């Protein structure tokens, strides 16, 4: 057993865990935040994407202990304090960027990371390239790409601060 | 994943001490290969020494005509570095095309070359650009470092701390990725420094990254993709698997080499 402390969605947490605990297990089973999904468990599908210190990573391929002192943001941490959806969440809803929804948390966390790195005006090619690490088995990506494009533009005009901004 | 004891040293010295002292210890860099390998129970170290807090192993600096990259620098940081983009744009582009964005945010240059996966991208850059691999004990030329599939010149417990790339006049990397894994089916890095041209091939060889002397000779006469027209590598010693047979890989090596040269000269 080992002790780990980190910030999850703005809240300081400390826990005694088995060294083997993956970040995604820590988030889901210790913190009971089940919005982050385990899809392939082999760093291919991106359903487990969260932000560590503002950068998108696959939480199935990160040990919780590696996140000692880190600032972790999950899908539960991006809506505004009053419950208003994050512009990227809203764009996925508006553009029907999901069917079963299993990949959606990872898609949205990746999409926000893309905007953080590439700005608000994204072309389709960039979006498709940048979503390389996220797999969806329902939609064929068309509406996801449209949602990311719209969400990116909406993020430019978004004045509402995120509940737990991933700087 | 089997149980292990986790260690988080702050310095290279502490890390090396732990690796030497602890039984069955393995070094953890970005974890993008080691953790999946441990999950599959193909690796089961008793002690895991995480280099994530070793600040002296991170960062990129220019020293004269050399770019020195800390072993714990992520692919994303190499790709996004204005220093690398300006001095060796081909290296920044290579780093920006490893895996996917999430993997690039965790995976490190030191981890990649210490692992020496036969389909990894960085070994081709190190070999083509004549990089020097700096460890906690010594400096090793890339030509001597990569010794075969998943095999390097590193001694037991030796840790890669930095990689020094002499700035080439022209250099670029072209890869044909496997569409599922994104690993290189064939990747070719070409570099021209002064009158010396080096061509390194990854993804194709049964014993990992290797140089292609025929292409180097042809490009030394004239650094143009025309010099490689119609050339393919020898199929002997190349991999045959479900993704591609040796003949196809030999053909792809020629194609990727020409693309890399075109990219290096800015075509």
Per-residue pLDDT of chain B (267 residues; tens, 9 = 90+): 999 999 999 999 999 999 999 999 999 999 999 999 999 999 999 999 999 999 999 999 999 999 999 999 999 999 999 999 999 999 999 999 999 999 999 999 999 999 999 999 999 999 999 999 999 999 999 999 999 999 999 999 999 999 999 999 999 999 999 887 778 999 999 999 999 999 999 999 989 999 999 999 999 999 999 999 999 999 999 999 999 999 999 999 999 999 999 999 997
pLDDT at B56: 96
A61/B5 touch (CB, cutoff 8 Å), yes or no: no
Question: Which residues, 6+ apart, have CB-to-CB distance to B154 below 8 Å?
Answer: B114, B135, B145, B160
Rounded to whole angstroms, the Cα distance separating B96 from B135 reads: 25
The residues facing A3 across adjacent strands are: A16
Number of H helices, E strands in chain A: 5, 5
DSSP chain B: ----EEE--SSHHHHHHHHHHSTTEEEESS-TTHHHHHHTTS---SEEEE-TT-GGG--EEEETTEEEEETT-BHHHHHH-HHHHHH-HHHHHHHTTSS-HHHHHH-BHHHHHHHT-TT-SHHHHHHHTT-EEEESS-EEEHHHHEEETTEESPPTT--EEEEEEEPPSEEEEEEEE-TTT--EEEEEEEEEETTEEEEEEESSBTTS-EE-HHHHHHHHH--SGGGGTT----STTB--SSS--HHHHHHHHHHHHHHHHHHHTT-
A130/B101 touch (CB, cutoff 8 Å), yes or no: yes
Rounded to whole angstroms, the Cα distance separating A61 from B33 reads: 9
Domains of chain A, by residue range, sit at 2-77, 87-157
Chain B nearest-CA distance from A133, in A, is 5
Q: Does residue A18 sit at the B interface (CB-CB below 8 Å)?
A: yes
CATH number given to A2-77: 3.10.20.30
Q: CB A3: neighbour CB atoms within 10 A?
A: 10
Rounded to whole angstroms, the Cα distance separating B107 from B84 reads: 17
Question: Which residues, 6+ apart, have CB-to-CB distance to A130 below 8 Å?
Answer: A110, A114, A118, B101
Q: Which of B35, B76, B99 sits opposite A63 (nearest CB)?
A: B35
Interface list for chain B against chain A, based on CB atoms closer than 8 Å:
1-6, 8, 28, 31-32, 35-36, 39, 48, 50, 52, 76, 99-103, 105-106, 180, 182
pLDDT at A71: 98
Which positions in chain A touch B9 (Cβ < 8 Å)?
Answer: none
Residue carrying structure tokens 């089916």: B185
pLDDT at B183: 87
Rounded to whole angstroms, the Cα distance separating B68 from B61 reads: 5
Between positions 94 and 123 of A, the ones with CB within 8 A of B are 110, 113-114, 117
Exposure on the CB side of residue A49, measured as CA atoms within 13 A: 32
Counting beta carbons within 10 angstroms of the beta carbon of residue A100, is it exposed (0 to 12), middle (13 to 18) or buried (19 or more)?
A: exposed
pLDDT at B124: 98
Note whether A60 and A119 are within 8 A (CB).
Answer: no
Chain B nearest-CA distance from A60, in A, is 9
Rounded to whole angstroms, the Cα distance separating B203 from A63 reads: 29
DSSP H or E segment with residue A5: strand A2-8
Note whether A68 and B50 are within 8 A (CB).
Answer: no
Q: Search chain A and give the residue with CA nearest B49.
A: A66
Which positions in chain A touch B34 (Cβ < 8 Å)?
Answer: none
A62/B5 touch (CB, cutoff 8 Å), yes or no: no
* Mean pLDDT per 10-residue section of chain A, whose length is 167 residues: 96 97 98 97 95 98 98 97 96 95 97 96 96 90 96 83 50
Please give the CATH superfamily to which domain A87-157 belongs. Answer: [2Fe-2S]-binding domain (1.10.150.120)
Interface ipTM > 0.90: yes
Chain A nearest-CA distance from B211, in A, is 30
Note whether A135 and A58 are within 8 A (CB).
Answer: no
Find which of A66, A70, A131, A134 to mutate to test the B interface (most B CBs within 10 Å of its CB): A66
Q: Does residue A133 sit at the B interface (CB-CB below 8 Å)?
A: yes
Chain A nearest-CA distance from B75, in A, is 13
Number of A–B residue contacts, CB under 8 Å: 71
Q: Does residue A36 sit at the B interface (CB-CB below 8 Å)?
A: no
B102/A66 touch (CB, cutoff 8 Å), yes or no: no
- Domains annotated for chain B, with CATH where assigned, are 5-50 (3.30.43.10), 55-166 (3.30.465.10), 171-264 (3.30.390.50)
Find which of B102, B104, B106 to mutate to test the A interface (most A CBs within 10 Å of its CB): B102
CA-CA-CA-CA dihedral for B199, B238, B160, B145, to nearest 10: -70
Q: Which of A22, A46, A63 sits opposite B102 (nearest CB)?
A: A46
pLDDT at B37: 96
Q: Which of B36, B48, B105 sits opposite A55 (nearest CB)?
A: B105
Rounded to whole angstroms, the Cα distance separating A6 from B195 reads: 53
Which positions in chain A touch B102 (Cβ < 8 Å)?
Answer: 43, 46, 49, 56-58, 110, 133
Counting beta carbons within 10 angstroms of the beta carbon of residue A103, is it exposed (0 to 12), middle (13 to 18) or buried (19 or more)?
A: buried
Residues in chain B: 267
B50/A66 touch (CB, cutoff 8 Å), yes or no: yes
């Amino acid at each position: 057993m080992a002790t780990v402390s980190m910030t999850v969605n703005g809240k300081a947490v400390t826990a005694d865990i088995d060294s083997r605990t993956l970040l995604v297990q820590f988030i889901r089973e210790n913190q009971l935040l089940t919005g982050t999904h385990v899809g392939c468990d082999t760093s291919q599908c991106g359903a487990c994407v969260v932000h560590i210190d503002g950068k998108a990573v696959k939480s199935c391929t990160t040990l919780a202990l590696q996140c000692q002192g880190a600032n972790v943001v999950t899908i539960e941490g991006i809506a505004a304090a009053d419950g208003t959806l994050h512009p990227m969440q809203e764009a996925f809803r508006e553009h029907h960027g999901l069917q079963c929804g299993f990949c959606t948390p990872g898609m949205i966390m990746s999409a926000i990371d893309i905007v953080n790195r590439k700005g608000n005006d994204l072309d389709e090619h960039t979006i498709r390239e940048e979503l390389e690490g996220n797999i969806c088995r329902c939609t064929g990506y068309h509406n996801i790409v449209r949602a990311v494009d719209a969400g990116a533009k909406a993020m430019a005009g978004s004045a509402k601060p995120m509940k737990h901004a991933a700087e | 994943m089997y149980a292990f004891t986790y260690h988080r040293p702050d310095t290279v010295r502490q890390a090396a001490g732990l690796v030497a002292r602890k039984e069955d210890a393995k070094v953890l860099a970005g974890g993008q290969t080691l953790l999946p390998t441990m999950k599959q129970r193909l690796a089961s170290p008793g002690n895991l020494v995480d280099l994530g807090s070793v600040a002296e192993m991170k960062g990129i600096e220019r020293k004269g005509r050399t770019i020195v990259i800390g072993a714990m620098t992520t692919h994303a940081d190499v790709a996004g570095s204005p220093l690398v983009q300006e001095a060796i744009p081909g290296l920044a582009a290579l780093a920006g095309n490893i895996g996917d964005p999430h993997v690039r945010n965790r995976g490190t240059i030191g981890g990649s070359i210490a692992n020496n996966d036969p389909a990894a991208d960085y070994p081709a850059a190190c070999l083509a650009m004549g990089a020097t691999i700096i460890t906690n004990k010594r400096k090793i030329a890339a030509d001597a470092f990569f010794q075969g599939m998943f095999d390097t010149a590193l001694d037991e417990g030796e840790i890669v701390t930095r990689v020094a790339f002499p700035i080439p006049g022209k250099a670029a990397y072209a890869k044909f990725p496997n569409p599922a894994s994104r690993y290189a089916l064939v990747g070719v890095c070409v570099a021209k420094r002064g009158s010396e041209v080096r061509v390194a091939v990854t993804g194709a060889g049964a014993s990992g990254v290797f140089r292609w002397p025929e292409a180097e000779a042809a490009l030394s006469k004239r650094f143009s993709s025309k010099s490689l027209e119609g050339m393919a590598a020898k199929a002997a010693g190349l991999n045959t698997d479900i993704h591609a047979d040796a003949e196809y890989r030999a053909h792809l090596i020629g194609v990727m080499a020409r693309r890399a040269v075109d990219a290096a000269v800015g075509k």
